[in-house]
A and B are shown apart, each in its own frame.
Chain A
C-alpha cells in the first residue's frame, strides 16, 4: 500500500512529474531563447511562475459553468500523469503494464486536449470557445498520424504492449532504425498535442488571446500549464521508448541517464522545430496533417508490414 502510494505520489508519479515537467519547460524555453540569440529565463523561472500562479486568486467567470470549469484542469493533469505510469523508464518494466497499454497511453494523452476543450467551452467567453473549437478541430488532424506512427512501431514488434515492444527491440537491436520516418511524423504530431508553434493555433496569442485558457487564472491556470509541461515529458518519454528502444538493459543508473539523454534530445528537437517555423492556419494545419503526415505514416506501416513478412519470418 505504502509502496503504491510512493509510486503514485512521488516517483515516478506526481511529484517527479511536476519537477521534470517544470524543468522541461525551462529547458524548452532556454533552448528557444538561445536559438533566438537571447539570454532566456533563469533555471527557477518555471517553478517561480508555477508557485506564483498557485498563490493567485481563482476567478470563475459568472457566465461559466463552474463545475465543468473547475474540473477540466484537474482532469487534464490527472490524465497526463496517469499516462506516465505505463511507460518503462529504464528497464523493461513499467509501473503498470498489460497487453494493450500502448493504446491506453495514447488515450490518456488525448484526454487533456478534450479537457481543454471542455474547460474552454464552458468558460463561455468568445475567445475561449474559439480556442476550444480549434483545439478539437486540431485534435482530429494530428491524432491520426501520431497514432499511426506509434502503432507502426508496435506493429513491427507484433504487440500492443510497451513492455513487449521493449523486449522485442532488445532482441532485435537495430530494428528501431526502420521507424525513423514514424519518429519524424510522431514528433511533428506531438507539437500539435503540446500546442506549440507551428500548431499553437488553439492558443494563438495574436488571434484568440489565450484560446481555451483565456478565462483561467490562479491555481487552475497553473494546473493547465503544468498539464502541457507534463504532457511534454510524457510525450517525449513515449517517443523515446517507442522509437529509440536501445540500451534498455543497462541497469537503473546508466539506463536512467540514457533515458534522460533521449528525452532531452527530443525536447531539443521540439524547441528547434518551433524556432524555425511560423504558425499555420487551421485549414493549412488540417491539410498538412492529412495530405503529408498520414500518407507518410501509411508508408511507414507498409514498410513495417513488408519487413515483418520478409526479415522476421
Chain B
C-alpha cells in the first residue's frame, strides 16, 4: 500500500458511520469514489425460517422484531396477510388504532433519521435536538402500547390495547409540541448554510433511475415519484383519511430530508383526523388458531418505504412460508448508483439517506462461494481439531496455553 492514489477502503462491517454491520468496499482515487461494492448478509438471523416453526400468535412477536424502528410496520404487514387468508373482518376501531400507532411510529422514525443524518454530516447539535424531541413521541408510544420500541399492539383480528380519552388528550398535546419543533426543523434543514452545502447535489438519483431500480419510500418520493402504499393501495384506515403524498424534485439527499420533515407534518394531520373520527366498537374479532389453507401478499408503507410480506398457510397453527421484503432491500441497490463520482465524505450521508435498516434487509441471503462444491458438513469435534491443526500449520501452537487454561480452571 504505497500508492494512496487508488485504493479500496472498507466501510463496514464495523465502522462508525454504520449503525449496523454491512460491508461496503469503496474504491477510491484520492477522495473521489470510483465504485462501491455492497455485501449484504452480516446480520442474517433466519427469521423467516424461524417463523415457520412457530404458531401465528408467536410469529407476531417474532416478526415484530425484524426491525427495531419499524416494528409496528412489520407486525401489521404480517397480521394483514394472515387476516386476509383467514377472511377476518377487522373492527374499524382496530384499524384506526393501527393507523395512529403507524403514524406515531413514522414520526419517531423520521425524527430518529434526522438526528442520524445530522450526525453523519458532523452536525451533532441536530442529533441531540431531534432525539430529545423524539422522546416526546416515544413517551406517548410507551404510554399507549406499554413499550417504547416493540409495541406489541397487533394481534390477529385486531389490536390488543385501546386508546382512551386521557391518552387522546396526551397525544394531541404531544402533537402540538412536535408540530412546533418540526416547523423549526424544516427551517433548519432548508436554511442552515452548512447543512445545505453538505446535502444538496449529493447522492442524486434521477426519476428514471428510481423507476429502473425500484426505489421505494422517501427515497423515491424525493425524486418526484409519487409512490406511497398508503395512497396507492390503502390499508388500515388510510382510505378514510385525507393526506398529501409529499414529493420533491431535488432528487438528492436534500430532497430526501425535505420529504421526511414534511411527512412529519402530514403524520400529525393524519393522527389528528384519526383521533377525531375514532369510531366506537370492539377491538378484536375472534381469530381461529388454525388458519385455513391459502396465501396472501400484504403491502405496508413503513417509514422507510414499502414493506411486503407474503404468507402461505397450510391449514395448521403454523405458517408454511413467510417471506419478508423490507424496504431497505429495494433501496440498497440505489446507493451504489448514488455514490458514483461522489466524494468519500458523502458516503455516510448517502447511505444514511435511504434510512437503511440492514438487519431487516438481511432476510434471505445465500452467499455462494466459488469453492462451494467442496463444502461439507462437519461436526464440532472435527472442527475443533481442524482449527488446532490449522493454527499449528500457521506456526501458532495453543497447546501450552490450553494446558495453562485447564490448570487454571482446575486450580
User: Do A and B share a direct contact in the complex (Cβ within 8 angstroms)?
Assistant: yes
Nearest chain B CB to A119 CB, angstrom units? 15
Within 8 A of A (CB), among B119-134: 119-126, 128-129, 132
Per the bound structure, the CA–CA distance linking A207 and B124 in Å amounts to 15
* A206 contact set on B, CB distance < 8 A: 16-17, 119-120, 122, 348
A279 and B198 contact, Cβ closer than 8 Å, known pairs A36-B124, A129-B4, A207-B17: yes
* B310 contact set on A, CB distance < 8 A: none
Binding-face segment, A54-62, A196-204, A228-236: A196-204
* B348 contact set on A, CB distance < 8 A: 206-207
- Say yes or no: is A52 at the interface (Cβ < 8 Å to chain B): no
Per the bound structure, the CA–CA distance linking A110 and B348 in Å amounts to 30
Which residue in B1, B10, B198 is a CB contact (below 8 Å) of A278?
B198
Within 8 A of A (CB), among B175-196: 192, 194-195
Nearest chain B CB to A290 CB, angstrom units? 16
A278 and B195 contact, Cβ closer than 8 Å, known pairs A124-B1, A133-B4: yes
Q: Which residue of B lies closest to A38 (CB)?
A: B128
- Say yes or no: is B343 at the interface (Cβ < 8 Å to chain A): yes
* B6 contact set on A, CB distance < 8 A: none
Which residue in B122, B128, B129, B192 is a CB contact (below 8 Å) of A204?
B122
Per the bound structure, the CA–CA distance linking A201 and B125 in Å amounts to 17
* B119 contact set on A, CB distance < 8 A: 206
Nearest chain B CB to A138 CB, angstrom units? 12
The answer to whether A37 and B15 touch across the interface, beta carbons within 8 angstroms, is: no
* B128 contact set on A, CB distance < 8 A: 36-38
Nearest chain B CB to A43 CB, angstrom units? 21
Tally B residues with Cβ within 8 Å of A: 33
- Say yes or no: is B345 at the interface (Cβ < 8 Å to chain A): yes
The answer to whether B194 and A198 touch across the interface, beta carbons within 8 angstroms, is: yes
- Say yes or no: is B197 at the interface (Cβ < 8 Å to chain A): yes
The proximity string for B residues 346-365 relative to A, scoring 1 for CB distances below 8 Å and 0 otherwise, is: 11100000000000000000
Per the bound structure, the CA–CA distance linking A187 and B41 in Å amounts to 47
- Say yes or no: is A65 at the interface (Cβ < 8 Å to chain B): no
Within 8 A of B (CB), among A193-216: 197-198, 200-201, 204-209
The answer to whether B129 and A36 touch across the interface, beta carbons within 8 angstroms, is: yes
Per the bound structure, the CA–CA distance linking A279 and B117 in Å amounts to 12
* B15 contact set on A, CB distance < 8 A: 209
Which residue in A129, A133, A200, A281 is a CB contact (below 8 Å) of B198?
A281
* B124 contact set on A, CB distance < 8 A: 36, 197
The answer to whether A280 and B198 touch across the interface, beta carbons within 8 angstroms, is: yes
A207 and B345 contact, Cβ closer than 8 Å, known pairs A278-B118, A279-B122, A279-B123: yes
- Say yes or no: is A276 at the interface (Cβ < 8 Å to chain B): yes
- Say yes or no: is A17 at the interface (Cβ < 8 Å to chain B): no
Within 8 A of A (CB), among B84-121: 118-121
Nearest chain A CB to B132 CB, angstrom units? 6
Per the bound structure, the CA–CA distance linking A135 and B405 in Å amounts to 46
- Say yes or no: is A277 at the interface (Cβ < 8 Å to chain B): yes
Per the bound structure, the CA–CA distance linking A157 and B195 in Å amounts to 40
- Say yes or no: is B278 at the interface (Cβ < 8 Å to chain A): no
- Say yes or no: is A282 at the interface (Cβ < 8 Å to chain B): yes
- Say yes or no: is B9 at the interface (Cβ < 8 Å to chain A): yes
Per the bound structure, the CA–CA distance linking A57 and B366 in Å amounts to 41
Per the bound structure, the CA–CA distance linking A207 and B351 in Å amounts to 12
* A37 contact set on B, CB distance < 8 A: 128-129, 132
Per the bound structure, the CA–CA distance linking A207 and B11 in Å amounts to 8
Nearest chain B CB to A106 CB, angstrom units? 27
The answer to whether A277 and B9 touch across the interface, beta carbons within 8 angstroms, is: no
Within 8 A of B (CB), among A263-313: 275-284
Per the bound structure, the CA–CA distance linking A275 and B125 in Å amounts to 6
- Say yes or no: is B163 at the interface (Cβ < 8 Å to chain A): no
Nearest chain A CB to B296 CB, angstrom units? 41
Which residue in A205, A208, A282, A284 is a CB contact (below 8 Å) of B197?
A284
- Say yes or no: is A130 at the interface (Cβ < 8 Å to chain B): yes
Q: Which residue of A lies closest to B120 (CB)?
A: A206
* B129 contact set on A, CB distance < 8 A: 36-37
The answer to whether B1 and A126 touch across the interface, beta carbons within 8 angstroms, is: yes
The 7 closest A-B pairs by CB, nearest first: A279-B122, A278-B123, A206-B17, A36-B128, A278-B194, A206-B348, A277-B194
16 contacts between A and B (CB under 8 A): A35-B125, A37-B128, A126-B1, A129-B1, A133-B4, A204-B345, A207-B345, A207-B347, A209-B15, A278-B198, A279-B194, A279-B198, A279-B345, A281-B343, A281-B346, A282-B345
